[in-house]
A and B are shown apart, each in its own frame.
Chain A
Amino acid sequence: MCNCGSHDSLVPQIGIITGITQETPDVKTFKVNAPDGGKLFEHMPGQCAMVCIPGVSEGMFSITSSPTNKEYQEFSIKKCGILTEQLHSLQVGDEVTVRGPYGNNFPVETEFKGKNLLFIAGGIGLAPLRSVINYCLDNRENYGRIDILYGSRSADDLVKLQEIQDVWMKAPNVNVYLTIDREQEGWDGHVGFVPTYLKEIGFSTDCIGIVCGPPIMIKFVLQGLKEMGFTDEQIYTTLELRMKCGIGKCGRCNIGSKFVCKDGPVFRFDQIDELPNEY
């Protein structure tokens, strides 16, 4: 499952930061390579990895680059705690430790195949979905129509805006809808919360919904989708809890009989419904 050295799954490999992009005032995207230049490991869209600055802390981050990227892995990280603050102070050439990939992935090769896909993301919630979106775009023939609804607090907080405009918007049979929470000078796009915009657009139910964002957004998007006729079996999301081991043993992310780090982070909503309400 993970290939972090043969010693033990808890012993990481060294990753070298080969590129840093400032996405928004508090989000940076880090390119990570193995010290010899290659990729650290192969992963599937939706999987995560434990990134650590020794002496500071270790944290689980979703891999935001697509597996079709053969050169490096990317992590989009928002500054919000001790570890992430330190990560933001790193420079190109610095080393971190990485172990993974952990968890399950979006069923891009099974359930998603041949289907229309609707991605709904809020803020940094785009990070795990970007991996799926790029995977689907790189295997365009396998998927139907792709709709992407992405919202953020302000225009400055839209992650990966350049890529959205240059690649996603120009890709065939892809519709991108952007929105920001409040009016802002220089923004002539839509203004309003994601769930409201969702209802305004009114997607048809012939697709699979993939949602990621802050819990409150997920809650209202889910409501919206259901009103539009979506069923639980049609909607996917990724969960996030505190994790330490990443391999379903340390007990933190245990909900019911599931471990979010090992059995998740990707869940279909009917699976979430079966879990005790503790996430």
Chain B
Amino acid sequence: MQGLIDRLSALLSDGTVARVLGWKKGDMPYNPEPHMFETAESLKDFVYDGFCGANLSKMMIEASKLEGKTAVCLKPCDSYSFNQLIREHRVDRENAYIIGVGCRGKLDIDKARANGIKGIEEVSGTELDGPDSVSFKTIYGDKEMSYSDLLLGRCHVCKGKEHMIYDELWGESKDTADSERFDEVKALEAMSPAERFEFFKKELSKCIRCNACRNVCPACSCRKCAFDNNNFDSQQKANVDSFEEKMFHIIRAFHVAGRCTDCGECSRVCPEGIPLHLFNRKFIKDIDELYGEFQAGKDPEAQSPLTDYTFEDCEPGIVAERSNG
């Protein structure tokens, strides 16, 4: 990590960039926060380890409006989001200096908690070139977990170790995928409609309408969201265990369909642990199957499938045909 700090420091000092967008050490070993570093001196608090899961590309929308270049640390999967934002003219490529940072998967502290680890005082083994297991020093005794058991759900379907866009690279990346991307979706599709309904009802009834999924989503960059518009009957903040949550999540997934890079931030930030990526991934799967494979953010020039059509597209009746076998 020191190498990265030195490099960032040099970029700041020689005036290549005016600021650095990275992560700042948290007050606990596992909660670094996104931060804008403006001086080389402030980089002493910079951190890059397994807990730096936050996708910084959305913060570049604001940073693009500032004077001078911003150096931004993007992991391989973050670079898809950044590309997509370029496609949508929401960030300025010229104002960004992209450090493609290496990644061997990011960690989910809730996985440790689910494993009974609590009262954490120190965590070691989370750095990029660290060992295969993570050790926890807690007030209830020392614990250990393998790095891969602690990975965020999204890292198990890693899109690969290549950065889609960068100015320079730092550190080695690793493809952490150990399951098929659409397995979860396929498992649901195999259920009966009633079972699927029960599954989503149970998950969505936990939704507290906090909007964290929307606000963190790099594809949700509208200045004013359809769900904040009180001229239209959409601004229902109620959480009523029946309809509004379904409506919100279906429409939100629909609005980002064809633009969602499957970065998994929505599921990462959900305080209730709702697997929100299952909506987005279903759209991606359908798009792949019906309109040809498409990965948003891979190519900043590519036409999104929902702003495109062919004369030979399938009819909507295909849904029933496929589903009813």
A and B touch in the complex (CB under 8 A): yes
Q: Mark B209-241, 1 if CB is under 8 A from A, else 0.
A: 000000000000000000000110000000000
Count of CB-CB pairs between chains A and B under 8 Å: 3
Judged by a CB distance under 8 angstroms, whether A216 is at the interface is no
Q: Mark A172-193, 1 if CB is under 8 A from B, else 0.
A: 0000000000000000000000
B232 CB to nearest A CB, Å? 11
In this complex, what residue of B is CB-closest to A82? B231
B157 CB to nearest A CB, Å? 41
How many chain-A residues does the 8 Å CB contact rule pick out?
A: 2
Chain B residues with CB under 8 A of A82: 230-231
Contact residues of A between 65 and 101, Cβ < 8 Å to B: 82
Chain A residues with CB under 8 A of B230: 57, 82
Q: Mark B224-264, 1 if CB is under 8 A from A, else 0.
A: 00000011000000000000000000000000000000000
A257 CB to nearest B CB, Å? 26
Chain A residues with CB under 8 A of B231: 82
Q: Mark B38-81, 1 if CB is under 8 A from A, else 0.
A: 00000000000000000000000000000000000000000000
A250 CB to nearest B CB, Å? 13
In this complex, what residue of A is CB-closest to B231? A82
Name B's interface SS. Answer: loop
Q: How far is the CA of A82 from the CA of B231 in the complex (A)?
A: 8
User: B interface, how many residues as a size bin?
Assistant: under 10
Chain B residues with CB under 8 A of A57: 230
Q: How far is the CA of A77 from the CA of B230 in the complex (A)?
A: 21
Q: How far is the CA of A46 from the CA of B230 in the complex (A)?
A: 30
B177 CB to nearest A CB, Å? 46
A181 CB to nearest B CB, Å? 31
Contact residues of A between 44 and 60, Cβ < 8 Å to B: 57
In this complex, what residue of A is CB-closest to B230? A82
Q: How far is the CA of A82 from the CA of B233 in the complex (A)?
A: 13
Contact residues of B between 162 and 218, Cβ < 8 Å to A: none
B244 CB to nearest A CB, Å? 17
Q: How far is the CA of A57 from the CA of B233 in the complex (A)?
A: 12
Q: Mark A26-64, 1 if CB is under 8 A from B, else 0.
A: 000000000000000000000000000000010000000
Q: How far is the CA of A57 from the CA of B231 in the complex (A)?
A: 11
Q: How far is the CA of A82 from the CA of B230 in the complex (A)?
A: 9
Q: How far is the CA of A4 from the CA of B165 in the complex (A)?
A: 62
In this complex, what residue of B is CB-closest to A57? B230
B58 CB to nearest A CB, Å? 27
B231 CB to nearest A CB, Å? 7
Q: How far is the CA of A90 from the CA of B320 in the complex (A)?
A: 48
B237 CB to nearest A CB, Å? 12
A56 CB to nearest B CB, Å? 10
Q: How far is the CA of A82 from the CA of B232 in the complex (A)?
A: 11
Contact residues of A between 81 and 124, Cβ < 8 Å to B: 82
Q: How far is the CA of A1 from the CA of B79 in the complex (A)?
A: 58
Q: How far is the CA of A57 from the CA of B230 in the complex (A)?
A: 10
A251 CB to nearest B CB, Å? 14
Q: How far is the CA of A113 from the CA of B291 in the complex (A)?
A: 79
A244 CB to nearest B CB, Å? 12
Q: How far is the CA of A57 from the CA of B235 in the complex (A)?
A: 12
Q: How far is the CA of A112 from the CA of B221 in the complex (A)?
A: 53
Q: How far is the CA of A54 from the CA of B104 in the complex (A)?
A: 56
A148 CB to nearest B CB, Å? 37
Q: How far is the CA of A274 from the CA of B80 in the complex (A)?
A: 50
Q: How far is the CA of A247 from the CA of B161 in the complex (A)?
A: 56
B19 CB to nearest A CB, Å? 28
A146 CB to nearest B CB, Å? 42
B155 CB to nearest A CB, Å? 39
A279 CB to nearest B CB, Å? 23
Contact residues of B between 72 and 129, Cβ < 8 Å to A: none
A167 CB to nearest B CB, Å? 40
Contact residues of A between 231 and 264, Cβ < 8 Å to B: none
A85 CB to nearest B CB, Å? 11
B277 CB to nearest A CB, Å? 33
A54 CB to nearest B CB, Å? 14
Q: How far is the CA of A82 from the CA of B235 in the complex (A)?
A: 14
A252 CB to nearest B CB, Å? 14
Identify the B interface with A (CB < 8 A). 230-231
Q: What are 3 A-B interface contacts by the 8 Å CB criterion?
A: A57-B230, A82-B230, A82-B231
Identify the A interface with B (CB < 8 A). 57, 82
Closest 3 CB pairs of A and B: A82-B231, A82-B230, A57-B230
